[in-house]
Amino acid sequence: MFEWTKNNDALGTVNRGIPCESGLCTLCDSACKGKCETWLSCLEGRKMLYPRKFGYITSGAANVTSVGVGYHALRIQGYAYGSNGIPANLTDNPDDCIFTNISLETEFGLEMKTKNRMPIMTGALGSTFVAARYWPSFAVGAALCGIPIVVGENVVGVDKASVLEKGRIKSAPELERRIQYFERYYDGYGAIIVQMNVEDTRNGVAEYLIDKYGNNVIIELKWGQGAKDIGGEIQVKQLENAQFLKDRGYIVDPDPYDPVVIQAFKNKAISSFARHSRLGATNKHNVEAVREDFMSSIAYLRKLGFKRITLKTGAYGMENLAIAIRFAADAKLDLLTIDGAGGGTGMSPWNMMQHWGIPSLALHAKAYEYCEILKNRGITPPDISFAGGFAREDHLFKALSLGAPYTKMVCLGRAPMIAGFLGSNIEGTFFPERKAQLNGHWDTLPASVSEYGIYPEEIFTMWENVKNRVGAEEMKHIPFGAIAMCGYADKLAGGLQQFMAGARKFNLNELTRNDLISANRETTDVTGIPFMTDALDAEAKAVLMA
């Protein structure tokens, strides 16, 4: 198994745990005191694009040889002349063709377009307690950044305050709280997307949403994810809560009503229970049956009034991938998110994350191939978002280019959550009376933060930017985690603009697979992206022979 380095001396970053390809640790602790690249980016923003200690050092790349197949084995092509996709108000003069003039705005959808300031969205933040605890930071941050945020499955079902009558929702305080945080700062960019699984469908989530919010929300159906191919799960430590969830219709393991289990819990031999969701389509045994059921579900949602419907699918094999792409195209869905293994989540079986499903690069390469097949048959493929182990600006460029022109978004799962953790911990040190409410872990600022400042205005690069946008009075309502997310997004935006400028692409729509090269021939075999010395080799020889 390939092992990633724990520290980057050039950037001054370090992983306290074992890092994975995204640069995040395999276990990301909300109490962490840093300093991985994403963690520091939340404070320093685009300054993290550059090596530290400028003026006293020189720095050289360590990644010049790639082993194995993955996004790490794709490299970004650069060009020494030309410019493409220049905005109408600019020229090809070098004074205009600067990276800061590159617009990262994008949109997805059919009848009702969803505009975004950047081509990123969050992963699904559902019924895990991490999502609920840090939701204000996540939602406000997404709204300020102008990107979509996804409310994951089961939020209504696990909410003890929600009211269900005859199996249908009448009141859903937690779901309403999540939507309201986003709506307060929504300004026309981004969106709030609400997922549904089997239990959510039974509970009437769709009917509740359309009645209360109309098309201010996007509804999303879900077929698995990159971390697991079973239903979603959470862990609860109270017997009463486990019994409540079983009464709500969930699978709870072990059975909280089994007398033997109850006694084992009293003896402290059992300390927690896992709540699971059901598998979908267990009663469908061929593609046509799945198609009929899916199209019926979409027709029902359309009849309710939903104009924006999306689908999230996981790291299943090729037939299931083709089903998702074809059905999404035929149903005229607004977005299809394709999530590769090994995923990132709050609670998935560890060895399932390690060993099930198709890793991101291979899955995404096939998604492009299948979209091309549909296009060549005269069928318009859906707008697509790629997910699965992304956290840096190079990931964004590679994912958008690999799937171009179909990829409109890149879905970031765990990485934006770090902003919520970090911001809440910092805010709790300044406002100890709110520490418990914020789910902060720190009593004082650690050295890893105080080296950047001792006041919020010093610590967060994007503090003044956010203040200028919302006003000084409103700043007291902005979670520090949301400001941290703006810092992280600023670093991603600056880095993506720089990569695009080097590729001479001044508009996201200009990105193509020609902007990528493979660093080894195995990656060429999987993706169809040419090996680096084969790319443009014919054009090079034409120059020499002229």
Average pLDDT over residues 384-400: 97
Give the CB-side neighbour count of residue 452, counting CA atoms within 13 A.
Answer: 24
Query: Does residue 238 register a pLDDT over 90?
Result: yes
Q: What is the DSSP string of 415-469?
A: HHHHHHHHHHHHHHHH-GGGHHHHT---SS--HHHHTT-SSHHHH-TTHHHHHHH
- CA dist 290 and 298 (Å) reads 12
pLDDT band, residue 277 (cuts 50/70/90)? confident
- CA dist 501 and 20 (Å) reads 28
Token pair 């195995």: residue? 522
Average pLDDT over residues 256-267: 96
pLDDT band, residue 1 (cuts 50/70/90)? low
Contact between 193 and 108 under an 8 Å Cβ cutoff? The reply is: no
Average pLDDT over residues 456-471: 97
Average pLDDT over residues 372-391: 97
Average pLDDT over residues 309-332: 97
- CA dist 329 and 377 (Å) reads 12
Encoded amino acid at 67, one letter: V
Return the pLDDT at 280: 86
- Closest to 527 (Cα-Cα) out of 417, 388, 368, 333: 368
- CA dist 443 and 429 (Å) reads 5
Which residues lie closer than 8 Å to 536 by C-beta, 6 or more apart?
A: none
In tens, the pLDDT along 163-212 reads 988 878 899 999 999 999 999 999 999 999 999 988 899 889 999 999 99
Return the pLDDT at 477: 96
- CA dist 317 and 337 (Å) reads 15
Whether pTM exceeds 0.85: yes
Token pair 């002349």: residue? 81
Please, what sign has the CA dihedral across residues 204, 208, 211, 214?
negative
- CA dist 315 and 356 (Å) reads 8
- CA dist 346 and 63 (Å) reads 30
Return the pLDDT at 371: 98
Mean residue pLDDT across the chain: 94
Contact between 46 and 498 under an 8 Å Cβ cutoff? The reply is: no
Query: Does residue 232 register a pLDDT over 80?
Result: no
pLDDT band, residue 347 (cuts 50/70/90)? confident
Query: Does residue 370 register a pLDDT over 90?
Result: yes
Query: Does residue 59 register a pLDDT over 70?
Result: yes
- CA dist 401 and 392 (Å) reads 15
pLDDT band, residue 128 (cuts 50/70/90)? confident
Contact between 275 and 233 under an 8 Å Cβ cutoff? The reply is: yes
- For 356-404, strand residue ranges (E) read 384-387
Return the pLDDT at 230: 84
Average pLDDT over residues 79-107: 93
Pairing of strands 192-196, 217-223: parallel
120-134, 226-240, 405-419: range with highest mean pLDDT: 405-419
Per the document, the length of the chain is: 546
Which residues lie closer than 8 Å to 154 by C-beta, 6 or more apart?
A: 126, 127, 197, 199, 200, 232, 234, 250, 277
- CA dist 496 and 85 (Å) reads 15
In tens, the pLDDT along 401-433 reads 999 999 999 999 999 999 999 999 999 999 999
Which residues lie closer than 8 Å to 11 by C-beta, 6 or more apart?
A: 37, 40, 48, 51, 52
